[in-house]
Amino acid sequence: AAIGCPLGAIVKSLVFRVDDEVVVALVSGANSLDEPALARAAGGEGAARVDAATVREATGFPVGGVPPFGHRTELRVFVDEDLLAFDRVFAAAGNPATTFGVAPADLVAATGGVVATLARR
């Protein structure tokens, strides 16, 4: 409501471990992440949420403010296909109080993200 967009147009940057690799899942605000789907998209066996210290170490940002790109380390990014339904989506810009808008196709290009079915159905 503060941004003036539908909940689905909010990009949640979720940091998970798939097997031994830390990855970022960009998920529509209206969706819950399907962890097995993320693992499949990443070619792994299983996915699990990481703790706040790992998020900061891998991305350089705090939980709640992780942007979709510009991370401290190179991380593979997976993009919820449901984000592509919007003309513009809004993502965190480094802290929980700052966001930016971007066309979904530009988000995919900027992150080098792999579009996948990530929503729990």
Residues 77/62, Cβ–Cβ less than 8 Å:
no
For residue range 66-89, list pLDDT tens digits in order.
999 999 999 999 999 999 999 999
- Per residue in 92-113, pLDDT (tens digit) is 999 888 999 999 999 999 999 9
pLDDT above 80 for 1: no
Q: What is the pLDDT of residues 5-23, one digit of tens each?
A: 999 999 999 999 999 999 9
Backbone angles phi, psi at 105, to 5 degrees: -65, -35
Specify the pTM. 0.95
Q: Report the mean per-residue pLDDT for the chain.
A: 96
Model confidence pLDDT, tens digit, residues 32-48: 999 999 999 999 999 99
- What burial class does residue 61 get, using C-beta atoms within 10 Å of its C-beta: 0-12 exposed, 13-18 middle, 19+ buried? buried
pLDDT of 10 reads 96
